[in-house]
């Protein structure tokens, strides 16, 4: 049967690479930095420009497709996930890293049809690494097939997570409490790249055994979700239930044994769903 999403996938890879070039060029200039939900939730003109480049190029080739873009939602567009072919875009995943020149910044493009993720593309543009995953066709990094780690003992794992941008003391206490419990299992190590998409590609490549976070958005993880599962990994909710792309929380791991063990340590705190009805501004 003709592969009906091949053209969309090829375009996602091409536009992710082009977006990465724009991001690298922007690093040489003093881009304007703005804030969103708080003083530490940063956005730059580069985030906005790169999202416009991605979305306009897709609209030109696939005018009937839908979009969920981080900066479009931040500008007031509703985050509506329908059965229509939908591009789920984080133009600059790791914006704070980008602002500080910390070398992990990714373009993340997920694509779903009938609310099922069909492919994911994550271009780690400062490393120049192109991660891809297509449903039923495997996951790759620059053409090399990806395979998750085969570790099943939690005490032999490297775990990756993030501190996020929430600075509410009660929430931060829960985040640190979770990290302390996991670290003291003990695990070999706890890391964070600063971008969820990159963290998930590290799970897919076997460099770490699991990524978890509460507070992420669908655009941070849509692409990585395909790459992890196509590399043999698993996804679940932080309470052990099924993964829910719009829930703003997830565990991705090399296998269910590790995922189930991690879930026991996670202190859950609320995060408003991406698709929650938004007050009219
Ligand atoms: C980032 C996520 C990361 C999270 C950060 C931030 P952004 O995405 O990738 O997991 O901890 O707070 O949300 O905002 O750089 O696109």
pLDDT band for position 240 (cuts 50, 70, 90): very high
Place of tokens 């239930």: 241
Question: In this predicted structure, what is the pLDDT of residue 108?
Answer: 98
CATH of domain 154-263: 3.40.190.80
What is the share, in percent, of the chain residues with pLDDT greater than 90?
A: 93
- Superfamily for the 6-145 domain: Fructose-1,6-Bisphosphatase, subunit A, domain 1 (3.30.540.10)
Q: What is the predicted pLDDT for the residue at 150?
A: 98
Q: Is the pLDDT of residue 280 over 70?
A: no
Task: Look at residue 16 in the predicted model and tell me its pLDDT.
Answer: 98
Query: What average pLDDT does range 233-249 have in this prediction?
Result: 98
pLDDT at 77: 95
Task: For residue 6, report the distance from its CA to the centre of ligand 1, in Å.
Answer: 29
Residue 196 CA to ligand 1 centre (angstroms)? 6
Q: Name the average pLDDT for the chain.
A: 96
- Mean pLDDT along residues 112-125: 98
Query: Tens of pLDDT along 166-185?
Result: 999 999 999 999 999 999 99
Give percent of the chain with pLDDT exceeding 70.
Answer: 99
CB 94 within 8 A of CB 203: no
Question: Which pLDDT band, with edges at 50, 70 and 90, does 76 fall under?
Answer: very high
Spell out which residues line ligand 1, taking CB within 6 angstroms.
Answer: 70, 90, 93-95, 162, 164-165, 195-196, 213, 216, 220
Distance 2 CA to ligand 1 centre (A): 36
- Residues in CB range of 241: below 8 A, 6 or more apart: none
The number of CA neighbours under 13 Å toward the Cβ of 150 is 0
Residues of each domain in the chain carrying CATH 3.40.190.80: 154-263
Q: Give me the pLDDT at residue 133, please.
A: 98
Confidence of residue 281 (pLDDT cuts 50, 70, 90): low
Q: Which of 34-43, 205-214, 241-250 has the lowest mean pLDDT?
A: 34-43
Q: Which atom of ligand 1 lies nearest, measured to the CA of 194? A: 3
Strand partners, 90: 108
Nearest ligand 1 atom, CA 70: 16
Ranges of CATH 3.30.540.10 domains, the chain: 6-145
pTM of the model: 0.97
In the beta sheet, which residues pair with residue 252?
A: 211, 235
Is the pLDDT reported for residue 259 higher than 80?
A: yes
Which token pair is 128?
């120049």
Q: Are strands 66-69 and 86-93 parallel, antiparallel or unpaired?
A: parallel
Spell out the alpha helix ranges (H) of 77-164: 95-100
Tokens of 145: 């097939």
């Amino acid at each position: 049967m003709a592969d009906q999403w091949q053209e969309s996938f090829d375009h996602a890879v091409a536009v992710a690479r082009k977006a990465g070039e724009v991001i690298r060029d922007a690093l040489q200039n003093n881009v304007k930095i703005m804030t969103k939900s708080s003083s530490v939730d940063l956005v730059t003109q580069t985030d906005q420009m790169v999202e416009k480049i991605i979305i306009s190029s897709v609209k030109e080739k696939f005018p009937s497709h839908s979009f969920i873009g981080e900066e479009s939602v931040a500008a007031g567009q509703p985050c509506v996930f329908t059965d229509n072919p939908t591009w789920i875009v984080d133009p600059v995943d790791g914006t704070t890293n980008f602002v500080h020149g910390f070398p992990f910044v990714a373009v993340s493009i997920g694509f779903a049809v009938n609310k099922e993720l069909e492919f994911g593309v994550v271009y780690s543009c400062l490393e120049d690494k192109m991660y891809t995953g297509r449903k039923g066709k495997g996951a790759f990094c620059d053409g090399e097939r990806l395979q998750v780690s085969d570790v099943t003992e939690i005490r032999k794992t490297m775990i990756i997570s993030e501190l996020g941008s929430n600075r509410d003391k009660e929430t931060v206490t829960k985040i640190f409490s979770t990290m302390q419990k996991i670290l003291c299992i003990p695990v070999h190590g706890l890391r964070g790249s600063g971008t969820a998409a990159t963290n998930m590609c590290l799970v897919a490549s076997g460099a770490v055994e699991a990524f978890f976070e509460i507070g992420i958005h669908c655009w941070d993880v849509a692409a990585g979700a395909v790459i992890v599962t196509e590399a043999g990994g698993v996804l679940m909710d932080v309470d052990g239930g099924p993964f829910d792309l719009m829930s703003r929380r997830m565990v991705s791991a090399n296998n269910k044994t590790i995922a189930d063990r991690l879930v026991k340590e996670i202190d859950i705190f609320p995060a408003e769903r991406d698709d929650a009805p938004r007050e009219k501004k």
